[in-house]
Amino acid sequence: MELAYRPQKDWSQVVPESVHVLQESPWMLDGTFQFIHMGHRLSAFDMVSNMHAVLVSRTPYTTYELKKGSKVRRVPIPAGSISVVAAHSEYQAFTDGSLTEDLGLLVNPARVLDLLSQDETVKGGVQPRDGFGLNDSRTSQILTMFAEDLSSPAPFGAAYREGLLGAFARHFATTYAYSPIAPSGENTLSLRQLRVVEEFIETHLAEDLSLASVAEVSGYSRFHFHRLFKATTGLPLYRFILLRRVERAKELLLLTNDSLSEIAMEVGFCDHGHLARHFKAVTGLSPSQFRSQSNR
């Protein structure tokens, strides 16, 4: 993990515990982002990172005393608030030592500009401004949805999480970076492009389809494609894939005697439980109920 909290050993009340990582994802989107869910009980520590770090507080309320160089300030950190630490910033932080819990994204500064420039013209660099205890419901929502899907027994999958990161990337650049972004001009996919994309999804429905793999056949970069696809179909890519999986499962339930486990694997769900949860959410029936009612 690239974000480090180094305990200050010369403070008498330091709590000698390291950061506990409760959840973390692998580095995603060509090494641009890593999601983390962490907690600690440190009363004094250095906050340093060679990555940009965006954190959402899950603690009911806490106060940080932050020291950078000779400047010291007290910052209230309410639950749901956002803190942004730019790469290579360094703060000494002091708290009362109570449990502090955060959801966060580490952002690789060497990769995020390349990622954004696939879709937009970025003037200059993407260098975020440091900030603590900020009100940003959009970032809080995105990281919470990412954490929920990561721990869900019925995850929406790679395309969903990549879509969340795409939404975050643009929001991050336009909200926290010094350099503005000029949006590109296309509004929707052509009928030919949409047909090619739909055929690709149907052919690879049994796989864990990623945003990148589907975008590639459209000829657009992943985040540009993600916006165009939703504008064209009215659905985000992950939802479109989910509905196609449920429709294919219906066909197999009606036309074959395959078990639920076999059908789940054939249409891209992890197991029969994963299939059942999403199938019922879409149709209001379990797969078994759908099969039995259709066979009457």
174, burial (CB in 10 Å: exposed 0-12, middle 13-18, buried 19+): middle
Q: Give, to the nearest 10 degrees, the angle between helix 237-255 and helix 191-203.
A: 50
CB hemisphere CA count around 8 (13 angstroms): 19
Question: Is residue 135 domain-shared with residue 264, that is, in the same domain?
Answer: no
Question: Is residue 54 domain-shared with residue 199, that is, in the same domain?
Answer: no
Which has more pLDDT, 252 or 22?
Answer: 252
Which pLDDT tens digit goes with each residue over 93-103?
888 877 788 89
Q: Which of 198, 173, 61 shows the shortest CA–CA distance to 121? A: 173
Q: Residue 280: pLDDT above 80?
A: yes
**Domain end: 176, 201, 220, which one?**
176
Range scoring the smallest mean pLDDT among 126-135, 191-200, 284-293: 126-135
Total count of domains within the chain? 3
Q: How many residues does the chain have?
A: 296
Which pLDDT tens digit goes with each residue over 212-232?
899 989 888 887 888 889 888
The confidence score (pLDDT) of residue 279 equals 92
Highest mean pLDDT out of 37-41, 124-128, 259-263: 259-263
Percent of the chain with pLDDT over 70: 84
Question: Is residue 50 domain-shared with residue 167, that is, in the same domain?
Answer: yes
Residue ranges making up the domain that contains 280? 240-294
We report the CATH number of the domain holding residue 161 as: 2.60.120.10
- Could you give the CA distance from residue 37 to residue 23 in angstroms, rounded to a whole number? 5
Q: Residue 180: pLDDT above 50?
A: no
Question: Is residue 77 domain-shared with residue 13, that is, in the same domain?
Answer: yes
**Domain end: 234, 256, 276, which one?**
234
Question: Is residue 221 domain-shared with residue 259, that is, in the same domain?
Answer: no
Q: Give, to the nearest 10 degrees, the angle between helix 237-255 and helix 158-176.
A: 170
**Domain end: 234, 259, 276, which one?**
234
Percent of the chain with pLDDT over 90: 24
Question: Is residue 207 domain-shared with residue 144, that is, in the same domain?
Answer: no
Question: Is residue 42 domain-shared with residue 112, that is, in the same domain?
Answer: yes
CB hemisphere CA count around 273 (13 angstroms): 4
Highest mean pLDDT out of 1-10, 174-183, 263-272: 263-272
The confidence score (pLDDT) of residue 125 equals 52
Q: Which of 128, 293, 163 shows the shortest CA–CA distance to 240? A: 163
Give the model's confidence band at 124: pLDDT under 50 very low, under 70 low, under 90 confident, else very high: very low
Q: Give, to the nearest 10 degrees, the angle between helix 191-203 and helix 211-218.
A: 140
Pair of tokens at residue 199: 């055929």
Question: Is residue 209 domain-shared with residue 86, that is, in the same domain?
Answer: no
Question: Is residue 207 domain-shared with residue 279, that is, in the same domain?
Answer: no
Question: Is residue 284 domain-shared with residue 163, that is, in the same domain?
Answer: no
Question: Is residue 157 domain-shared with residue 264, that is, in the same domain?
Answer: no
Q: Residue 14: pLDDT above 50?
A: no
Which pLDDT tens digit goes with each residue over 53-102?
999 998 888 888 998 888 888 989 998 999 998 888 888 888 887 778 88
Question: Is residue 60 domain-shared with residue 130, that is, in the same domain?
Answer: yes
Question: Which residue carries 């803190």 as its tokens?
Answer: 83
We report the CATH number of the domain holding residue 254 as: 1.10.10.60
Q: What ranges make up the beta strands (E) of 58-156?
A: 61-68, 71-78, 82-85, 90-94, 100-107, 121-122, 131-134
